[in-house]
């Protein structure tokens, strides 16, 4: 399991680092990739919790389960909103709609297909493989607590929220190059993937 988690964490970190070093990806470009992963991971949280509840035949009010999941989803959207404020301070004058279009229509040399058409399926596939390998095949859904799963995810979201707020404060007080923020984001995400278990 630890090897699988390490491989997954490394895989999540490689693409942003390569983009930063070799493809001139900026902080918002990399954040958009993470936003997609954040939303897809949240969708799989609903799937995992439902799988646990169905398999363990847990009987409790519908609102209890979904209320806690919805709180997580609200925090996730808060992370995305705060991150936009942080980027606005880090990259003054950034045009968010233009950057989103550029991100979706971006074509890499040798692959003349806009990444918007392939990135979402790839992120979905990656999350599905993780779900199948680390959650289903290991039988984790038979012994995992649905509450622990939700609260572990919430802990990771709180860390992301705190990181976003810290980025706003730092961007106002100290001029820091964008690549430093990117390395910080990738490093914290790598640590979360290794240390906080919500597979």
Q: Which residue segment(s) compose the domain that 120 sits in?
A: 2-195
What is the predicted pLDDT for the residue at 137? 87
How far apart are the C-alpha atoms of 68 and 72, rounded to whole Å? 7
Which distant-in-sequence residues (6+ apart) come within 8 Å of 140 by Cβ? 134, 199
Cα separation of 3 and 1, whole Å?
A: 5
CA 6 vs CA 10, 13, 41, 57, 183: distances in Å: 6, 11, 17, 32, 18
Residue segments in the chain with a per-residue pLDDT below the cut of 70: 1-2, 60-65, 108-112, 116, 197-199
pLDDT at res. 77:
95
Q: How many domains would you assign to the chain?
A: 1
Phi and psi for 88 in degrees, rounded to 5?
-60, -35
Q: Quick one: what percent of the chain has pLDDT higher than 70? A: 91
Closest CA to 185 of 83, 73, 116: 83
Angle, helices 27-56 vs 62-90, to 10°: value is 170
Look at residue 140 in the predicted model and tell me its pLDDT.
Answer: 87
pTM reported for the whole predicted model: 0.86
| pLDDT at res. 28 | 92
What pLDDT sits at residue 22?
79
With H, G, I as helix, E, B as strand and everything else as coil, classify residue 111: strand
């Amino acid at each position: 399991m630890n090897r699988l988690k390490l491989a997954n964490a490394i895989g999540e970190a490689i693409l942003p680092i390569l983009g930063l070093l070799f493809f001139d990806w900026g902080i918002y470009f990399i954040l958009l990739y993470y936003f997609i992963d954040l939303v897809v991971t949240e969708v799989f949280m609903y799937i995992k919790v439902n799988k646990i509840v169905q398999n363990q035949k847990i009987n409790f009010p519908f609102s209890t389960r979904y209320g806690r999941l919805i709180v997580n989803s609200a925090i996730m959207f808060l992370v995305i909103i705060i991150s936009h404020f942080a980027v606005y301070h880090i990259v003054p004058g950034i045009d968010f709609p233009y950057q989103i279009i550029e991100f979706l229509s971006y074509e890499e040399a040798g692959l003349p297909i806009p990444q918007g058409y392939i990135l979402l399926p790839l992120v979905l596939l990656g999350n599905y493989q993780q779900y199948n390998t680390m959650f289903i095949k290991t039988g984790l859904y038979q012994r995992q607590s649905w509450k622990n799963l939700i609260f572990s995810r919430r802990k990771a979201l709180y860390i992301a929220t705190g990181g976003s707020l810290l980025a706003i404060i730092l961007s106002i007080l100290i001029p820091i190059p964008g690549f430093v923020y990117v390395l910080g984001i990738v490093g914290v995400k790598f640590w979360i993937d290794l240390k906080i278990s919500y597979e």
